[in-house]
Amino acid sequence: MSDPLSSATGIADAVRAGDVSAAETVAIALGRVEDGGAGLNAFLEVFAEQAIDQARAVDTRIAGGDADRMPLAGVPIAVKDNIALAWGRTTAGSRYLEHYRSPFTATAAQRLVDAGAVVVGKTNMDEFGMGSSGEHSAFGPTRHPLDPERAPGGSSSGSAAAVGAGMVPLALGSDTGGSIRQPAALCGCVGLKPTYGRVSRYGLVAYASSLDQIGPLASSVRDAAACLAVMSGEDARDMTSSAHPVVDLIGGLETPVEKLRVGVPKLHGGMHSDVSRAMTDAALALKTAGAEIVDVEMPFVDEAVSAYYIVAPAEASSNLARYDGVRYGHRADVGLGGSIEEMYVRSRSEGFGPEVKRRVMLGAHVLSAGYQDAFYLTALKTRRLIRAGFDAAFDPAGPGVHAILTPVTPGPAFRLGEKTGDPMAMYLEDVFTVTANLAGLPAISLPVGWSKTDAQGREAKLPIGAQLIGRPFDEATLVRVARMLEMQVGWGG
């Protein structure tokens, strides 16, 4: 490999074969984090000594004949800071949890460690996953790996920046409305959101429990598939995890896509011209690879953002009620004469950032008496109609498509501060991604081209991503189509 960190699966093959040690590979990653991490603010915590110790333990396991049980042997990974580890802090990008240390490790992260991966650090993120730019962290904004004056996307901003900058080949993120796919698209890497229930949420700091999923950000489709294969499977500690069989995602990855049908919906405006061009080129590339391109209708997509920003804040207001300054997290000092109510109010006022407060208040409002029917229940009905629209597109008696091609973002990466004063403009960054979460479907973002200008018409060469949305629990077909597109456009080797 020209770049020793360019491929997670390549690293694992080399480490298992004894061509390179896990300790050597992890040392390279730690060096890159030290050199570039501060400028991007991608990492909130780095585990240098512990990572080297873990890597040496991997080398010992391989020497002892355990290589076959480590598909990710020696792969340096980063973990979004809302995914618990039994070492270091788990802050979720919030002052409220600034000093919180988890007593356990999330199932998804533990499965990667058991497979030989080595965690080099925890990555920055929008507070509690609430943000689309990486600017809503209590610990400062993450910066774009290609242009530090631009936003990397969010909320998995640090993970996307770390992979996009080549500091690690693989990172974990979480996706509630696009928080893996959107920053992956802006930073020029691959982001995969699994079917809801495919990966255990045990150990994930909850934002919106019916939408959240853990997934990988990677340098290639193959690496993302390999990571998902390790993480997938039922977990007795997560009642929402599915018993659906875990399938091989790598064996058929490069099987040609002839006879597969890819749906392309008609989208209405709001897209940068370079994104429109990239989507046309992506559809042509899949057709060239042998896929049949089919027009599909996606009803209620225009209403999806509105439905999402009712459902997600409603669930967030419930989930974040546990942060009361009593059991754990930030507690305000109200003195001996202060009341418990004053302590609650001040703890939350001091601990939560503006975007979290905005969404919690919105969620509490739509669940309140007199508004629940008009807003929350209507949003749930819209959610069911969105899923029905996808089901109709996937139905063999109808269009019978195997995947649906859409943009990921309306435009390329925007400048830091450009949208923070306009929450609605920021929320519309999720217009193409929230439908997959509302419907519980798997979706993958992969880079397919470059912009010529940014949203303001300024010259800017920035990555553009395409999204493929798949049938429930059919990640094997989804990554196969994504790999064919990746090969056609020349990304990912």
Domain that holds residue 98: 8-231
Q: What is the pLDDT of residues 264-281, one digit of tens each?
A: 998 766 799 999 999 999
Catalytic residue among 155, 174, 347, 451: 155
Identify whether residues 181 and 279 lie together within a single domain.
no
Residue recorded with tokens 């920003």: 309
Identify whether residues 201 and 134 lie together within a single domain.
yes
Identify whether residues 163 and 268 lie together within a single domain.
no
* CATH number of residue 198's parent domain: 3.90.1300.10
Its pTM stands at 0.96
Q: What pLDDT is attached to residue 491?
A: 72
User: 326 in a domain, yes or no?
Assistant: no
User: 80 in a domain, yes or no?
Assistant: yes
DSSP string, 259-298: T-EEEEE---S---HHHHHHHHHHHHHHHHTTPEEEEE--
Banded pLDDT at 422 (limits 50, 70, 90): confident
Q: Is residue 37 predicted with pLDDT exceeding 90?
A: no
User: 309 in a domain, yes or no?
Assistant: no
Calculate mean pLDDT across residues 288-309: 91
User: 102 in a domain, yes or no?
Assistant: yes
Q: What is the pLDDT of residues 79-118, one digit of tens each?
A: 999 999 999 999 999 999 999 999 999 999 999 999 999 9
What is each CA distance from 312 to 7, 109, 199, 304, 449, in whole angstroms? 35, 24, 19, 12, 31
Identify whether residues 426 and 279 lie together within a single domain.
yes
Answer yes or no: are the C-beta atoms of 241 and 199 closer than 8 Å.
yes
Which of 189, 209, 231 lies at the terminal end of a domain, its last residue?
231
**Residue 179 annotated in active site:** yes
User: 310 in a domain, yes or no?
Assistant: no
Banded pLDDT at 492 (limits 50, 70, 90): low
- Percent of the chain scoring above 90 in pLDDT: 87
Catalytic residue among 179, 219, 241, 445: 179
Identify whether residues 212 and 277 lie together within a single domain.
no
Calculate mean pLDDT across residues 322-341: 87
Calculate mean pLDDT across residues 347-352: 93
Q: What pLDDT is attached to residue 114?
A: 98
Q: What pLDDT is attached to residue 1?
A: 47
Q: What is the pLDDT of residues 212-249, one digit of tens each?
A: 999 999 999 999 999 999 999 999 999 999 999 999 99
Identify whether residues 161 and 270 lie together within a single domain.
no
User: 242 in a domain, yes or no?
Assistant: no
Identify whether residues 283 and 142 lie together within a single domain.
no
Quote the strand ranges of 243-379, DSSP E: 261-265, 292-296
Q: What pLDDT is attached to residue 424?
A: 83
User: 390 in a domain, yes or no?
Assistant: no
Identify whether residues 416 and 282 lie together within a single domain.
yes
Identify whether residues 287 and 413 lie together within a single domain.
yes
Q: Is residue 469 predicted with pLDDT exceeding 70?
A: yes
Catalytic residue among 21, 80, 156, 445: 80
Q: Rg of the chain's alpha carbons, rounded to an integer?
A: 21
Query: CA-to-CA distance for 11 and 299, rounded, in angstroms?
Result: 44
Identify whether residues 13 and 130 lie together within a single domain.
yes
- What is the number of structural domains in the chain? 2
**Residue 276 annotated in active site:** no
Q: What pLDDT is attached to residue 493?
A: 54
Q: Which residues pair with 296 in a beta bridge?
A: 265
Calculate mean pLDDT across residues 370-397: 94
Identify whether residues 140 and 33 lie together within a single domain.
yes
Q: What is the pLDDT of residues 135-162, one digit of tens each?
A: 999 999 999 999 999 999 999 999 999 9
**Residue 21 annotated in active site:** no
User: 340 in a domain, yes or no?
Assistant: no
Considering the chain, what is the average pLDDT of its residues?
Answer: 95
Identify whether residues 225 and 269 lie together within a single domain.
no
Q: What is the pLDDT of residues 163-219, one digit of tens each?
A: 999 999 999 999 999 999 999 999 999 999 999 999 999 999 999 999 999 999 999
